[in-house]
Structure 1
């Protein structure tokens, strides 16, 4: 005979469902208000410049390189059945940062060669941050068209920003730039990891940093990983 479900349990389950639905709706409303609702002064109703939300998060990423310069972006807008065409050319500064997640480097990513006194670090690959396009520091804004409507001007501005973002991302992810960033990351990580070795009296240790694409190509050398680097330093002390 099947056991009966107590009414209290049913009411409790229903209450949990209602609370979850309310919480989900509240989060969606907060997201909408944050992104799309204009914040105004309480007394005058005038729109104001204000920080709407701010979130500070911890990170273990080490900045290893930065790409910066000036880019030119162009965009077009056609309206009125092709009769109203407008174009815009903008020049503005941009910057892109490169990072390595040092939190992903543990004892398992360290190899020690006693013969050559070399510490090999298998680092995570370099990651590319979202480009920062400094539109407030534009050096050129050139708009051409017989009659540029307000809607066309807004569309041109948005398209130029999207084009600039895509162009900066393409440059930052190019093989040449990634290779340069990896070399800078290699030098920076080597200096970072050599410091505690020198402080422990191991100043003559060589630090070699490798990235995923380079695994297995270590100049034909074989690394002795039978003794972890931490144990080597412990024995030294």
Structure 2
């Protein structure tokens, strides 16, 4: 009986599998074509002239809190060699850049909030501050100096590409330096303390302190200073019952 029930499924297993395979390949090809069309196909008017136009855009939500922003000017250099070493060219570019620092609060849970009853202190064990990808504003370049006996169009494009990559890398390295990260954490500490202090004040804990710690700062010997015995959600629940 069981074999009889399985036979019809075996009959259609091959065609169904082939159909699913065709659908999968077709979907992958469509996604690939959409990406190729977005990144490489030039959009033109009816007369064939290229136009400035938004090709693709997407908006999405975010749970990260921006706590600080780094602004600066970066100087980038690039070299290019062609023609069996005869055609050498170089470029120096100066342009402004900007880096935002965020703290992702989406993963902050009750276990990350600790309450010290004696000193009325809320300890927030926050995720670390993370710098975003540097935004190098090439449209506002203040200096572009290109040198070389003869700079071909291809060499000029390669110099521009290399200078842009070097500027991006240098700005990223600066934004992740210990000094900049320490400064960003201080701004993050202030922002998170302000956010967490508001509900405490509303619950009648206006005189409570809020201490924000980040992963590099959390050590066992530092935490021994606090007698943390009660989770903050229990404290707030007891406060509501008392009212």
TM over 0.5: yes
How many residue pairs are counted as aligned between the two chains?
235
Partner in structure 2 of residue 11 of structure 1: 15
1:230 lines up with 2:233 in the alignment: yes
Deviation at 1:72, TM superposition (A): 0.7
- Does the C-alpha gap of structure 1 residues 16 and 206 become closer, same or farther in structure 2, counting only changes over 3 Å? same
What SS does structure 2 have at the residue aligned with 1:182?
helix
- The CA RMSD over aligned residues, in Å, is 1.6
Deviation at 1:56, TM superposition (A): 1.1
What SS does structure 1 have at the residue aligned with 2:119?
coil
TM-score, normalising length: structure 1: 0.94
Distance in 2 between the 1:7 and 1:31 partners?
38
Q: Which runs of 5+ in 2 are unaligned?
A: none
Partner in structure 2 of residue 119 of structure 1: 122
Q: Which runs of 5+ in 1 are unaligned?
A: none
Partner in structure 1 of residue 29 of structure 2: 25
What SS does structure 2 have at the residue aligned with 1:221?
coil
Distance in 2 between the 1:60 and 1:89 partners?
39
- Greater CA drift, 211-220 or 64-73: 211-220
Distance in 2 between the 1:117 and 1:77 partners?
63
- Greater CA drift, 76-85 or 216-225: 216-225
Q: 2:40 aligns with which of 16, 36, 41?
A: 36
Superposed, 1:1-237 pairs within 5 Å as 4=7, 5-41=9-45, 43-215=46-218, 216-218=220-222, 220-225=224-229, 227-237=230-240
| Deviations 1:187-214 (CA, angstroms, capped at 9, x unpaired) | 1111111111112221111001111122
Deviation at 1:29, TM superposition (A): 1.1
Distance in 1 between the 2:116 and 2:103 partners?
24
Q: Is the 8 A contact 1:111 1:223 kept in 2?
A: no
Q: Is the 8 A contact 1:104 1:123 kept in 2?
A: no
Please list every run of at least 4 consecutive aligned residues from structure 1 whose deviation after the TM superposition is greater than 4 angstroms. none
| Deviations 1:101-121 (CA, angstroms, capped at 9, x unpaired) | 011111010000001100000
TM-score, normalising length: structure 2: 0.92
Decide which structure has greater helix share. Answer: 2
Deviation at 1:228, TM superposition (A): 2.4
Distance in 2 between the 1:7 and 1:18 partners?
19
What SS does structure 1 have at the residue aligned with 2:70?
strand
What SS does structure 1 have at the residue aligned with 2:222?
coil
Distance in 2 between the 1:223 and 1:211 partners?
19
